[in-house]
């Protein structure tokens, strides 16, 4: 066997030009999905660097304008986004502390309503890294491990409990106390505190992250499947999505490949339609199916290709992004001096969580 073939077999990596798809481990992923995921991972890295530059400038200068704060980092503040939406509905105006968090929260819900949990399958960097950790597990162990059904079901409920807890806590706040929280010193720099949490992680936090990474290598998408309340929320909205995976039982040869590659462990090979909230709309089942007409993802009889899903996902995202910018509901209203003051005092008592 020549070196090239040996390496291909060893890494189980294959480009299929006809399908324009990439195989690593067991699943075939469309290159369009991979491209969109990598685009959002890269965007997150750039936003993180811009934000670090912004915070660094606030800490090291005493006057003058700060570099631009990238509001996109608020995509990592989903609870703030949820609070902002409830507050917007109650008060009739969007808060100016973290407006982008609410814009992105609404945008991702809209995506779930239209394109299933495409936020998890196409956009979320955590989902992307979880998938690739699982692929490392497939390369090492030739598979990902599956928990017994009773344990899998019990653990999957955790994310819904977490979601219910956050929803209960937010919806139970009065309109005034919700607005007070949003305007609190703590919330004004919650993005900075989140950044500091990752930059100055405690031993316990590092241990938890490493444990989650190891669990994600062993069990596909451990965090997403069992613990992520954001994914749980997106799943509930995705139930209403007109986009579904459909199987033609006449064309299907019952090979079972679609069920094996499904990251959500859904019984694609035995159902006529997949409407499960765990389906992330990745299309890996369709891309992997050896029979061209047996499986499709789309609306009624209109199948959607990975390219079309990629275009629709990006179109919705960028319409929301540019729309928010042009309406002036993207950047927050904190001046450079406000930011400098808050960041330089963030260890003070008034910057603790208001609910403590
Ligand atoms: S991969 Fe295709 S042919 Fe095989 S079971 Fe699934 S739908 Fe049927
Ligand atoms: S059913 Fe298909 S589209 Fe849905 S998560 Fe499984 S592989 Fe992805």
Q: Is the CB of 270 under 6 A from ligand 1?
A: no
Over residues 219-270, the pLDDT tens digits come to 999 999 999 999 999 999 999 999 999 999 999 999 999 999 999 999 999 9
Over residues 278-304, the pLDDT tens digits come to 999 999 999 999 998 899 999 988 999
Q: Is the CB of 274 under 6 A from ligand 1?
A: no
Q: Is the CB of 264 under 6 A from ligand 2?
A: yes
Pick the residue whose CA is nearest to atom 2 on ligand 2. 285
Domain membership of residue 279 (yes or no) is no
Over residues 162-181, the pLDDT tens digits come to 999 999 999 999 999 999 99
Q: Determine the pLDDT at residue 102.
A: 97
Q: Determine the pLDDT at residue 337.
A: 85
Mean pLDDT of 86-113: 96
Mean pLDDT of 185-212: 90
Which atom of ligand 2 is found nearest the CA of 284? Answer: 7
Whether 15 has a pLDDT exceeding 60, the answer reads no
Whether 13 has a pLDDT exceeding 60, the answer reads no
Q: Is the CB of 56 under 6 A from ligand 1?
A: no
Q: Determine the pLDDT at residue 4.
A: 46
Q: Determine the pLDDT at residue 10.
A: 45
Ligand (nearest to CA of 267): 2
Contact 81, 74 (CB under 8 A): yes
Q: Is the CB of 252 under 6 A from ligand 1?
A: yes
Mean pLDDT of 8-30: 62
Nearest C-alpha neighbor of 313 from the set 136, 110, 167, 146: 110
Distance 273 CA to ligand 1 centre (A): 13
Q: Determine the pLDDT at residue 30.
A: 85
Residue 18's pLDDT band (cuts 50, 70, 90): low
Domain membership of residue 235 (yes or no) is yes
Domain membership of residue 300 (yes or no) is no
Q: Is the CB of 136 under 6 A from ligand 1?
A: no
Sheet holding 302-303, edge to edge: 273-274, 243-247, 295-299, 302-303
Domain membership of residue 174 (yes or no) is yes
Q: Is the CB of 279 under 6 A from ligand 2?
A: yes
Distance of CA 117 to the CA centre of its chain: 9
Whether 72 has a pLDDT exceeding 90, the answer reads yes
Domain membership of residue 303 (yes or no) is no
Domain span at 174? 23-58+66-244+309-351
Nearest C-alpha neighbor of 127 from the set 209, 40, 192: 40
Whether 21 has a pLDDT exceeding 80, the answer reads no
Mean pLDDT of 332-348: 83
Domain membership of residue 147 (yes or no) is yes
Q: Determine the pLDDT at residue 11.
A: 45
Phi-psi region of 20 (alpha: psi -120 to 50; beta: other; left: phi over 0): left
Per cent of the chain over pLDDT 90 is 71
Q: Determine the pLDDT at residue 1.
A: 44
Distance 148 CA to ligand 1 centre (A): 24
Nearest C-alpha neighbor of 107 from the set 84, 128, 129, 127: 84
Ligand (nearest to CA of 121): 2
Whether 9 has a pLDDT exceeding 90, the answer reads no
Ligand (nearest to CA of 28): 2
Distance 248 CA to ligand 1 centre (A): 9
Pick the residue whose CA is nearest to atom 8 on ligand 2. 282
Pick the residue whose CA is nearest to atom 8 on ligand 1. 252
- For the CA atoms of the chain, what is the radius of gyration? 22
Domain membership of residue 1 (yes or no) is no
Whether 93 has a pLDDT exceeding 80, the answer reads yes
Per cent of the chain over pLDDT 70 is 91
Its pTM stands at 0.89
Ligand (nearest to CA of 245): 2
The secondary structure of 36-61 as a DSSP string is HHHHHHHHHHHHHHHHHHHHHHHHH-
Q: Domain count of the chain?
A: 1
- Per DSSP, helices labelled H in the chain are 3-11, 31-60, 78-91, 99-115, 118, 125-141, 149-171, 175-182, 185-188, 190-199, 203-218, 222, 229-238, 257-261, 284-288, 306-327, 336-344
Distance 37 CA to ligand 2 centre (A): 16
Which atom of ligand 2 is found nearest the CA of 297? Answer: 3
Whether 12 has a pLDDT exceeding 70, the answer reads no
Whether 324 has a pLDDT exceeding 70, the answer reads yes
Over residues 125-164, the pLDDT tens digits come to 999 999 999 999 988 998 899 999 999 999 999 999 999 9
Which atom of ligand 1 is found nearest the CA of 248? Answer: 7
Partners of residue 295 on adjacent β-strands: 247
Which atom of ligand 2 is found nearest the CA of 261? Answer: 7
Q: Determine the pLDDT at residue 194.
A: 87
Between 5 and 320, residue with greater pLDDT: 320
Which atom of ligand 2 is found nearest the CA of 278? Answer: 5
Q: Is the CB of 283 under 6 A from ligand 2?
A: yes
Domain membership of residue 222 (yes or no) is yes
């Amino acid at each position: 066997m020549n070196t090239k073939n040996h390496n291909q077999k060893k890494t189980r990596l294959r480009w299929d030009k006809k399908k324009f798809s990439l195989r690593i481990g067991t699943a075939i992923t469309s290159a369009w999905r991979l491209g969109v995921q990598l685009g959002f991972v890269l965007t997150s890295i750039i936003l993180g660097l811009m934000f670090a530059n912004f915070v660094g400038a606030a800490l090291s200068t005493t006057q003058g304008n700060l570099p631009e704060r990238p509001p996109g980092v608020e995509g990592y503040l989903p609870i703030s986004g949820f609070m902002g939406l409830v507050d917007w509905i109650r008060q009739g105006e969007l808060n100016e502390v973290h407006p982008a968090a609410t814009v992105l929260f609404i945008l991702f819900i809209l995506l779930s309503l239209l394109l299933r949990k495409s936020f998890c399958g196409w956009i979320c960097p955590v989902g992307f890294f979880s998938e690739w950790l699982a692929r490392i597990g497939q390369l090492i162990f030739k598979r990902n491990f599956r928990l017994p059904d009773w344990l899998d079901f019990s653990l999957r409920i955790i994310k819904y409990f977490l979601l219910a807890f956050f929803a209960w806590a937010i919806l139970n706040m009065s309109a005034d106390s919700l607005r007070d929280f949003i305007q609190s010193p703590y919330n004004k720099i919650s993005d900075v505190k989140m950044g500091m949490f990752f930059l100055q992680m405690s031993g316990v936090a590092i241990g938890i992250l490493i444990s989650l990474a190891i669990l994600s290598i062993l069990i596909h998408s451990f965090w997403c499947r069992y613990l992520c309340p954001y994914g749980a929320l997106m799943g509930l909205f995705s139930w209403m999505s007109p986009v579904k995976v459909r199987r033609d039982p006449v064309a299907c040869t019952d090979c079972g490949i679609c069920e094996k590659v499904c990251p959500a462990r859904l019984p694609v090979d035995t159902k006529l339609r997949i409407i499960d909230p765990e389906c992330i709309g990745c299309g890996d089942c369709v891309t992997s199916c050896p029979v061209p007409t047996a499986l499709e993802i789309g609306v009624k009889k209109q199948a959607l290709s990975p390219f079309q899903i990629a275009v629709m996902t990006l179109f919705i995202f960028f319409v929301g992004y540019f729309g928010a910018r042009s309406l002036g509901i993207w950047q927050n209203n904190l001046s450079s001096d406000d930011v400098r003051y808050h960041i330089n005092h963030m260890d003070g008592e008034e910057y603790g969580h208001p609910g403590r």
